Amino acid sequence: MNFLRPLALTSALTFAMALPGTALDLTSMTDDERNAFRDEIRAYLLDNPEVLMEAIGVLEQRQAEAQDAMDADLVKVNADALFNDGFSHVSGNPDGDITIVEFVDYQCGYCRKSYDVLQELLEKDTGVRLILKEFPILSEASMLSARFAISGQLLAGEDAYAKLHDALITLRGPVTTESLIALGDELGLDGQAIADGMDAPEVDRVLAENRALGQRLQITGTPAFVMHDTMARGYMPLEQMEQIIAEKREDS
């Protein structure tokens, strides 16, 4: 490495910082001074590329911190719609000290993986309250499934919804109104009655409110989670969820 280069760069930076504020963009330098300054910066970075990686790391950290702060504000502003909307299904411990909200699409492969993780989490941690938000965005089959689940909830209550949710998130094969009716019947519910209620105004309202909430939270994919005041977009393994929960408990 040429040890004169850092010295020259330092001198150039010192010179630039000594300029008036309006000249920090190098516009007050002569062409020769500006070219020399640029050459020294380029030479130093080529000799020390790790500096670029360090700078990128700092930038990414700052961006992540800014995103976390913005997410926390979004959760705070939308807390009632997230945690107390009066219609979203609640499982786990209704009085748990940690609340997880999941935006779910039944046709989403990662939502299905998350279902297994959440079931294990609820079995291990009796202090978790899980709120499910129907958020069908992938396909017509997603919308049909969500409408069927909400209609079943409205018609037959929370236990019926829980059965439907468990069945729909693990369902394989084509999703049609007929297949959903058959599924409802298999679960001991009135599949035809549930199907008849799929287009009810209340079903439309629930879906519209969930969609609007997701837009306000800048959710564009599933699964998406809100864990206390933290948002997590995408699939998370059990260990990551447990780590976030432990941190929230320590902070509270």
Looking at the fold, whether 121 and 153 belong to one and the same domain comes out as yes
Look at residue 1 and tell me whether its pLDDT is greater than 50: no
- Choose the final residue of a domain: 51, 73, 95: 73
Check whether residue 150 and residue 211 sit in a common domain.
yes
Burial 158-184 (b: 16+ CB within 10 A, else e): eebbbbbbebbbebeeebeeebbbebb
Considering the domain architecture, whether residues 46 and 95 belong to the same structural domain is answered as no
Q: Are residues 49 and 138 in the same domain?
A: no
Sheet holding 224-227, edge to edge: 89-92, 128-134, 98-104, 224-227, 230-233
Length of the chain: 252
* 168 in the same domain as 97: yes
Eight-class DSSP state of 23? G
Q: How many domains does the chain have?
A: 2
Residues 183 and 205 in one domain: yes
Average pLDDT over residues 71-100: 95
Contacts of 88 (CB under 8 A, 6+ apart): 101, 131, 132, 133, 210
Same domain, 24 and 110: no
pTM: 0.76
Please write the tens of the pLDDT for every residue from 2-14. 444 444 444 444 4
CATH value at residue 97: 3.40.30.10
Residues 133 and 16 in one domain: no
Q: What is the pLDDT of residue 14?
A: 47
Q: Among 44, 73, 102, where does a domain finish? A: 73
C-alpha dist (Å) from residue 1 to 38, 43, 46, 188:
18, 10, 10, 77
Looking at the fold, whether 136 and 245 belong to one and the same domain comes out as: yes
Q: Are residues 225 and 142 in the same domain?
A: yes
Q: Give the Å distances, CA to CA, from 137 to 4, 89, 211, 246.
A: 59, 19, 9, 31
Q: Specify the DSSP class assigned to residue 217.
A: T
Q: Where among 73, 107, 128 does a domain terminate?
A: 73
pLDDT at 22 over 80: no
Q: What is the pLDDT of residues 200-229, one digit of tens each?
A: 999 999 999 999 999 999 999 999 999 988
Q: Report which of residues 228 and 61 the model is more confident about.
A: 228
- Tell me which residue has tokens 């998406």: 224
Residues 131 and 148 in one domain: yes
> Which residue range(s) make up the domain with 27?
4-73
Rg of the chain on CA atoms, in Å: 27
**Residue 107 and residue 64 share a domain:** no
